[in-house]
Every structure is written in structure tokens, then in C-alpha cells.
Structure 1
Amino acid sequence: MKNLHKRIEFIITLSLMSLCLHPCQAQTNESGNKRTTPSAIFPKGEKGPSQTFTGTVWVQNLVAADSTYQLASGSVTFEPGARSFWHSHPSGQILLVTDGVGYHQVKGKPREIIRKGDVVKCPPNIPHWHGASADSPMTHIHVVPNTEKGIVNWLGAVTDAQYNGSR
């Protein structure tokens, strides 16, 4: 368990250092308002499959699961309104929000707003979902520990009512 904590701390430290080293760029959103966002830390990756995501999502694998580190990590970018399906992880999941505003919900609890700089802990074997808000993209780095127990169990799509905050 001590080694797991050290591995997670290492990934978090590297991720936060990367954020600090990349300059910000001013961008204009659709309503003409300027907002500052960091330049991309990692490549956008591949488009996420419609069997596990609603809307446009980009997934970049960062650390593939293996028997040495026993964790998996990746960067996921959700365009406005996009979200994951309900899913769970045998050993839980940690999200490091690196850009934007989004939502996270654990089954049976209210939807939460998550923002750049937030760290979210998803408990083991508990269904949850996460994605961008309706008017902002959201990017996070995910860390899945103890991958020898499995990585992810995909469940059903998040309904529009659930996405909009109804249980």
C-alpha cells in the first residue's frame, strides 16, 4: 500500500509540475468573452468510443497497466456536454482536473461541479460518471491503481436528466 501511495504521489507531482511549466493562452469563447486556458499538456489522443461516451471525448493513454507499476493513467478531454457512461473501477480512480469545468456524480448522490485544480476520488466498485459542463470543455488526468484487480467496468449511458442534475 505504501508503494501505491508513492506511485500516485509521483504521478500527481509530475502532472502538477507540467501544468506550472506550460504558458497560458487567452481564448475567446462563443459569446465573445475571453478566458485563459493552459496549452495542452499531452496530445489530444483518440476519439472515445460511443459505447462508453456521450458526445465528443478524446482519450490519450499516458501509463499503460503493467505488472511493475500496477496502475493505469491517461488524459481525457470532454467537449462541452460530453460525458462518460456510468462505470466503476475495482480499485477506485483518482481524477486530476487540469482544465475547464465539468461534472462528477457517484450513484445515489447529487451531481457535483468540478473545476481545474480539483482532485476527485472515486471509491472502489462504486458506479460514477464524469464529463464536461454544458458550456465548457473539461480535461482530467485519471489514475487507476491496483490494475491487477481490473481497470474499468462500463455500465449504461448517463441520461440527460442525470446529466442535468436530476438523480
Structure 2
Amino acid sequence: MIKRSLCLAVLLLPIGTAHAQKGANGMTIERKADMKTVDGGTENFTGKATITGQFQREAPSRVTGAIVRFEPAARTAWHTHPAGQTLIVTEGVGWTQIAGGPKLEFHAGDVLWCPAEHKHWHGATPHGAMTHVAIQESVDGSNVTWMEKVSDEDYLAPLGKE
């Protein structure tokens, strides 16, 4: 049985910590001004998406994440995460859909969870941008499996009910 759920994705690229500051207590702070921003790439996104502050924690942690901004009408391709994903929406309104389920809407301030291996997509609405913090774990060195692009028909389908 597949539960109805929301989730979002992030494409992790090579990650650097050159500008991170490590305090005497071992806490690390990466300053916003020092974070790199990269394009999401046309292989895994439709429209303009940018990825900022990508991180991957050292073992034994498996946590990875980033801040992802979707311009109006931008969206991911269909994809899955091996250990699920948490998304914290910081700006705007977005849409998401799990394969075979209804298209759902989420808003700034919402926190979403997507269980492991659920094929889904997500992105901004056609009318405004959306930004989220995506946090997921890697399993065997991978945090996402990308698939085919989302059709305009799926993207523009009517909203469903939770």
C-alpha cells in the first residue's frame, strides 16, 4: 500500500567546505555570502531551478541537503529517494505528485515528508516562485534516482484532494 505523501528533491553536485568556519566547539557555520549557487540542469529540471548551499555530512551521518529555488513553472523530473526526504518550504506555493496519486499543493511554512522509493515530482506553480530546504540521506552513495521528465499534461492537471 502506498501512502499519499509529499516530497521534493534535490540534485547534489560536488560539495565544498572551503568557506565553512569551524569553531572551537566543533560547530561549523557556512556563511550565506560564501555559498555557491548552481543551475539545476536541464536533464533533471524543466524551467529554471537553482541550488544553493549544498552539503553532505561526514560518516557516520548520511545526511545531504540544499536550498532549491524554482522559478514560476519550473519543476523536477520524476525521481525517487532511497531513504525518503524532508522538505521545509520557505517561500511561495508549489505542487507535487506521487505517481498514480493526485497532484497536491503546498505553501511556505509547510514541512513535507516523502517515504523512501516513492516516484514523484515537485516544483513551483505557473504563477510564482517557490523555495525549499531539502534534506535527505544517501544510501550506498546515492540520495536520488532521476527518471523521465514530467509532461505538461501531468504538470497542468487539476489539483487533487489529500
Q: Would you call these one fold, judging by a TM-score over 0.5?
A: yes
Equivalent pair of 2:82/2:139 in contact (CA under 8 Å): no
Task: Spell out structure 1 runs of 4+ moving beyond 4 A.
Answer: 41-44
Equivalent pair of 2:93/2:108 in contact (CA under 8 Å): yes
Following superposition of structure 1 onto structure 2, how do residues 1-167 of structure 1 map, counting pairs within 5 Å? 45-145=37-137, 147-149=138-140, 150-165=142-157
Aligned counterparts of 1:99 and 1:111: Cα–Cα separation in 2 = 19
Equivalent pair of 1:44/1:58 in contact (CA under 8 Å): no
1:45 deviates by 1.3
1:67 deviates by 1.7
Q: Deviations over 1:31-62 (max 9, x none)?
A: xxxxxxxxxx7867111110000000001143
Unmatched tracts of structure 1, length 5 or more: 1-40
Count of residues paired in the alignment: 126
Aligned counterparts of 2:53 and 2:77: Cα–Cα separation in 1 = 18
Unmatched tracts of structure 2, length 5 or more: 1-31
Question: Identity of aligned pairs, percent?
Answer: 35
Cα RMSD of the aligned pairs, angstroms, is 1.9
Higher helix share: 1
1:137 deviates by 0.1
Aligned counterparts of 1:130 and 1:151: Cα–Cα separation in 2 = 16
Aligned counterparts of 2:91 and 2:36: Cα–Cα separation in 1 = 13
Aligned counterparts of 1:50 and 1:118: Cα–Cα separation in 2 = 27
1:119 deviates by 1.1
